[in-house]
Amino acid sequence: MQDGSAEAAFQKDLKYTRSLGISSLPVCLVQYEERSVLISQLTSYEGFQEVISVLSGNTVSKMPVSPSGELFLSLLKRHPLISFQELICAMNCTDETELKDVIRDTDPSLYTVTQYSFIQSRITECR
């Protein structure tokens, strides 16, 4: 980090976001092959489905997802900073209780850590 690589990477990202005309958050760039759409507002799951459907010419379809310990561990491994709310959505849980049950059944030690992270994120949101 002291070698200037972080600053160079930041400047590269900044240049790219400016080239896309991004001036505020949240923003999500959805790409499929050579086509892309820049979504510059909060968008529902259904909104993303519609964008993906249009971009892909209906060749990409929704895969059924069931809450499971395997899915939870996979998401946690790939996205270690994923929020509790993102896990609920990504795992297709009906609510916090269902996610907590999956976590507890998968690994009780993770339940405690996740519960702590969830509480900490709520405290941060309130500040």
pLDDT digits (tens, 9 = 90+) for 66-84: 899 999 888 888 888 888 8
By three-state DSSP, how is residue 42 classified? coil
**Is position 62 within any domain?**
no
By three-state DSSP, how is residue 39 classified? strand
Evaluate if pTM is beyond 0.85: no
Residues 117 and 95 in one domain: yes
Residues 111 and 75 in one domain: yes
**Is position 12 within any domain?**
yes
* Phi, psi (deg, nearest 5) at residue 31: -125, 140
Residues 77 and 118 in one domain: yes
- CA angle at 78 for the pair 74 and 37, rounded to the nearest 5°: 115
Residues 40 and 9 in one domain: yes
Read off the tokens for 20: 């896309």
pLDDT digits (tens, 9 = 90+) for 32-74: 999 998 988 888 878 888 999 999 999 988 778 889 999 988 8
How many structural domains are present in the chain? 2
Domain that holds residue 90: 69-126
Residues 73 and 121 in one domain: yes
